[in-house]
Chains A and B, each alone.
Chain A
Amino acid sequence: MKKYHLVRRADAKLSRTLIFYAVGILVSLTIGAIILSVLGINPFDYYGKMFTIGLVGNRYGYKSIEGLLKIFVPLLITSLALSLSFKMRFWNIGGEGEFLIGAITASIIAFNSSGMPNFVTVLLMCLAAMISSGIIGIAIAALKVRFNTNETLMTLMINYIMLYVIRYIGETKADWNFFLREDSERPKFGTFPDSAVMAGIPMGQFKLLWSVIIALLLTVIVYVYLKYTKQGYEISVVGDSSATAKYAGMSVGKIVLRTMFISSAMIGLAAALTVSASGTISDTVTNNVGWTGIIVAWLSKLSVPAVFVTSILISILQYGCQAAATQYPAIDSNYADLLQGLILFSVLVADFAANFKIVKKEEAKNA
């Protein structure tokens, strides 16, 4: 007979969770440090470079901040969007595909916008991207609600179908293809006219793009939406138990459709902001936010403030790795992915340790 027994802790203390998480992250950074030392690199030196993202002793430090924000904005919005659907226990892992749909629609407008006012173009790009991504979200949600089709696998397929769509656009020279540069023999994505490029508020040399402000506003809106509105409450009830929601008189199907539309539309918005900020599109435009966003949402336990903080940390990790690569060419961006994986594994263990405890069998019986 087994002597020990797992029991779910009755009380969930935030401080305990935070301590366990901190230990988990420390353990994964230590494993990362061991890997670095094996390769003959001083881990303290490397981590120093990574976490300061090349700001220290750099005359062009503002460029580092701009680069960091370019990674941060799409990651933050996508993670928020995914948290919305995960809260409802709807496994939307199609962030990549929904992002690509939004990016393609926004680019269609952008490439045909020369001469239009900047504000109008960017607004149109955002709206078009939100609607097109949102429609895909609704379609998947409708199939799930009506026929109980597996949404995890459906969204997974959409990711890859869209990846080949954008590769097709990017690699096909043809008369209809206004996405490509005309002056290049080889197929190559063109750059947007000025009318479609995201503007910003200049602050000295640094330019604060509107996309950053929109992302921050959106964070507040999602927080309020989930915490203080009826619709936000409905999402969490459906997530806890759709049967409860049904008996409480909620229309579960409607809630799922609405939330999936919002979730996918937000990812479309993230895509429009991203292509507009970079002034072009490519088949790597997503920068894997659809996947990373899932990790961020899960690390944050679907809480909006935590998503905000985790997005900053993961962006620093990714951008820091790129920045440090200039001095350590042997270590490329894969190290960031490796660390991300290690952090999630150890946080999953930490999460368990914070929520369960091991007791002896007799004690469990008495309890």
Chain B
Amino acid sequence: MLEVITLFLFNIIVYNIPLLYGTTGEIMIEKSGSLNLGVEGTMAIGAVAGYLVGIKADSLLVAVLVSFIASGLVGLLFSFLTVTLQANQNVTGLTITTFGVAFYYFIGNALANSEGGWPRLNDTKLAAQSQAFAIPGLSKIPFIGEALFSHGILVYLGVIIAVLMWLYFNKTVPGLKLRAIGENPAAADSLGVNVTFYKYAHIIAGSGIMGIGGLYMGLNMGGTFEGSNCWINGYGWISIALVIFANWSPAKALLGTLVFGFFNTLRVQNAALAYAFPNALGWLTKIPSHFFSALPFIITLIVLIASSLSSKKKSGEPQAIGRNYYREDR
């Protein structure tokens, strides 16, 4: 009985860490005042590039670096188009999603139809390195130890990135400058902050972080490619929603990942829970799984409306978000 709950907690983390990567990456980008709707495509490109090169080199470190660089290049494209060329952010981001997901399928199908076939993850060093391991001591804590402290290294990396990002935003000078750009780029510019450099650097870094999330998803799914289902499968869009839910704070993104992950896991495991606790949770099977799938978006819609209704609560939303900054227009 308790195993069911431990497994539930374990699954919340295992299947939803990509959300944490996607969300923290997008927060970094949005804090610089840019709204990148290309999360889904950026993650897909990072996933497929990192996986394929990583399996060739047979090393997790290479895989992570390549997915960071590949997605970072997508971020470079986004910043070149929107920061330097002043293209519209919504349109550029959406096109990156269309392009990225198509790229994923295109490469995947081409490889799957080729002679060697799609490279498998089984019995590679890459698989061994990304395997879950129990942290000695902590994982022995009854009840929650196994759920929280026996994961693959990329799970911990995601948490570390979120914590470091929170420190970066709130405790460092560059973080302060970044937030200033997101609030009012003209004012930051007049104080001598290099707006273009900051935007490029953070859009590229944020996109790279998303790419690692994509790679995690690919490894977590056992690295099998399906012609009909993308590894990312909507995680990028939920991440955009989660940014709002987390009120643009990487620390709250950690919490938000658990909340959205809870519903996501409920969708998959409602039968197991209802079976283990027929009296208390039997009603769970009556709720259609589609409702749980839609729930992150419904919650975000409510949060969006509610936070705009209340004037008191301080929102973390950068004031200049979505608008390009062109010095001459000042």
User: Which residues of A are at the interface with B, using a C-beta cutoff of 8 A?
Assistant: 7-8, 35, 39, 91, 93, 143, 147-150, 152-154, 156-158, 160-161, 164-165, 167-168, 171-172, 291-292, 294-295, 298, 329-330, 332, 334-338, 340-342, 344-345, 348-349, 351-352
Contact = CB atoms under 8 A, between A and B. Distances in A.
Contacts of A168: 288, 290-291
Contact of B98 (A156, A291, A332): A291
Given A338-B99, A344-B95, A349-B85, 19 more contacts: A35-B106, A147-B305, A149-B305, A150-B308, A152-B37, A152-B90, A154-B305, A156-B241, A161-B294, A168-B288, A295-B91, A295-B95, A330-B110, A334-B109, A337-B98, A337-B102, A342-B99, A348-B91, A352-B86
Contact of B85 (A93, A294, A348): A348
A334 B105 contact: yes
B2 interface: no
Does more than half of chain B's interface fall in helix, strand or loop, or is it mixed? helix
Given A154-B304, A160-B294, A341 B95 contact: yes
Interface centre among B35, B85, B98, B99, by most A CB within 10 Å?
Answer: B98
Interface in B86-114: 86-88, 90-92, 94-99, 101-103, 105-106, 109-110, 113
Contacts of B316: none
B91 A171 contact: no
Contacts of A167: 290, 293
A334 B230 CA distance: 12
Contacts of A93: 37, 90, 94
Interface of B: 35, 37, 77, 81, 85-88, 90-92, 94-99, 101-103, 105-106, 109-110, 113, 234, 237, 240-241, 244, 288, 290-291, 293-294, 297-298, 300-301, 304-305, 308-309, 317, 322, 328
Contacts of A160: 234, 237, 294, 297
A338 B94 contact: no
B35 A352 contact: no
A298 B91 CA distance: 7
B33 to A, nearest CB: 14
A283 to B, nearest CB: 11
Given A337-B99, A345-B77, A143 B294 contact: no
A335 B103 CA distance: 8
B147 to A, nearest CB: 28
Contact of A156 (B81, B240, B317): B240
